Amino acid sequence: MIHSHEEQLSCRKILVRSEAGKGDRLIFDDGNQWQLSTTPIRGEDDPPTSLKNANLAYDGLGATRDFYRDVLGRDSLDNAGLTLQAQVNFGTQFDNAFWDGTEMVFGNGDDTIFKDFTGDVDVIGHELSHGVTQFTAGLLYTDQPGALNEATSDIFGACVEQFKDNLNAGTFNWLIGEDVMADGLYGEAIRSMKNPGTAYDDPVLGKDPQAANMAQYVPGGDPHINSGIINRVFYLIATDLGTFPAAKLWYATLQKLWPTADFAAAADVCAQMARILARDDVIERQGAQTVRAAFHDVGII
């Protein structure tokens, strides 16, 4: 990879703006160093930069912020207009993207497994939603609370992509990260919410180990494995109630959960929230039955 952007930036006048508490965006370029930059290259309402991934990050942050505002009535990640910050070009061939507790960090991928992580808006929605979970339920990142935390990020990541691309539960592919797979893995994805455990099976990655139900649950396992069970629950609910009503239901559930909440607690709270949202005409009247059927389908209740 050739990174000539620093040169381009030096001869370009950049106006970087952001105001605290307004959910403004700030994008930083790490220039392939293993440390986070403190000099923003694009702020809210600034014109596009010469870096495609910086612009994709800017757009993805905007789609995520707008989904939370328009669909869930939430003002940025903390519901108080937190400035949305993202770092692109972190490290060299870094094969991941993460939320570090304050901002998003994107690697370029190694082009064998992944390519640039700004390429799929569900990945961006996923990482930022870790911030929302942090500011709400505060689910611990271990065993069942960790799987609920991970699933919540996939759930809202999938919702952000449907919001941005005008898709619904029937037309969305329910795949996470299919657009960040390296060209040699075209057609694979990181996770399937519809059929957990089927996202990939190839010589580079091996076979997708995600659990789809409690029979496949790994006690104390990696949250990314067990999150498949909850992802599948959300897929089933969204298919019956519609993605955005299901998103409102999961968001209401998230606000009632607590750091050590387990799957059974989530089932209980979600059904309770379904009754309240049905009464308020936010979701269809059979919402609680839909929720129980979905949690029953995967063997939680």
**Is position 224 annotated as part of the catalytic site?**
yes
The least CB distance from residue 97 to Zn ion, in Å, is 9
For the bound state, the minimum distance from the C-beta of residue 196 to Zn ion, rounded and expressed in Å, comes to: 15
The reply to whether 150 belongs to the active site is no
Residue 39: name the closest of 56, 18, 23, 24 by CA.
18
How many residues sit in the footprint of Zn ion (CB under 5 A)? 1
Q: Which of 44, 103, 127, 178 is catalytic?
A: 127
> At closest approach, how far in Å is the CB of 280 from Zn ion?
31
Site for Zn ion in 95-154 (CB under 5 A): 153
Report in angstroms how near the CB of residue 127 gets to Zn ion at its nearest.
7
Query: Residue 51 or 121: which CB sits closer to Zn ion?
Result: 121
State which residue has the least CB distance to Zn ion.
153
Q: Which of the residues 153 through 192 are near Zn ion (CB under 5 A)?
A: 153
> Which residue, 131 or 245, has its beta carbon nearer to Zn ion?
131
Our CB check for Zn ion shows the closer of 153 and 216 to be 153
The DSSP code sequence of 106-151 is E----SSSB--GGG-HHHHHHHHHHHHHHHTT---SSHHHHHHHHH
By beta-carbon proximity to Zn ion, the closer residue of 231 and 290 is 231
Q: Which is nearer to Zn ion, 95 or 284 (CB)?
A: 95
* Residue 281: CB minimum distance to Zn ion, A: 33
Residues engaged in binding Zn ion (CB under 5 A): 153
Which residues are known to be catalytic? 127, 224
